[in-house]
Amino acid sequence: MHAFTVLGDPVRRRILELLADGEMTSGEVCEVIQREFGISQPAVSQHLKVLRESGFAVVRPEGTRRLYAVNSGPLREVDVWLDRFRRFWTPHLDALATELARGRRERRLRDSGDDPERKGKS
């Protein structure tokens, strides 16, 4: 299954978000997903199977439990593919960061009383 087909499903994306914080049992994943999406345990298990078979998740048996974790390999492949498109948003994000820093600096100067505009008006 193609990576974007796997990641295109909101349930699977949410499962990956949960697993990004650390290993979880299938029962823990099911509990959260059932509560958030209102789907059955077999449906959640099917999503876990897709993630496992596509390589986005790995499973480790521990006694009677199955612990799921993110496999970063396929995500790195998606990141490499996205790299060719970063030029479309990186300059905008850099400009936003500059404007935010400028605003923080202006507030800091204004609050400290070192604002050149305020001094000229006094």
Calculate mean pLDDT across residues 113-122: 59
Calculate mean pLDDT across residues 92-102: 83
Q: pTM for the whole thing?
A: 0.69
Q: What pLDDT does 114 receive?
A: 65
In three-state secondary structure terms, 55 is: coil
Q: What pLDDT does 2 receive?
A: 84
Cβ atoms of residues 39 and 32 within 8 Å: no
Q: How far apart are the first and last CA of the chain?
A: 68
Cα–Cα nearest to 70, from 17, 3, 9: 17
pLDDT tens digit string along 16-41? 999 999 999 999 999 999 999 999 99
Q: Which CATH number fits domain 3-71: 1.10.490.20, 1.10.10.10, 3.40.50.300, 3.30.479.30?
A: 1.10.10.10
**pLDDT-wise least confident of 9-13, 44-48, 83-87, 99-103:** 83-87
In three-state secondary structure terms, 59 is: strand
Sequence ranges of the domains in the chain = 3-71, 85-121
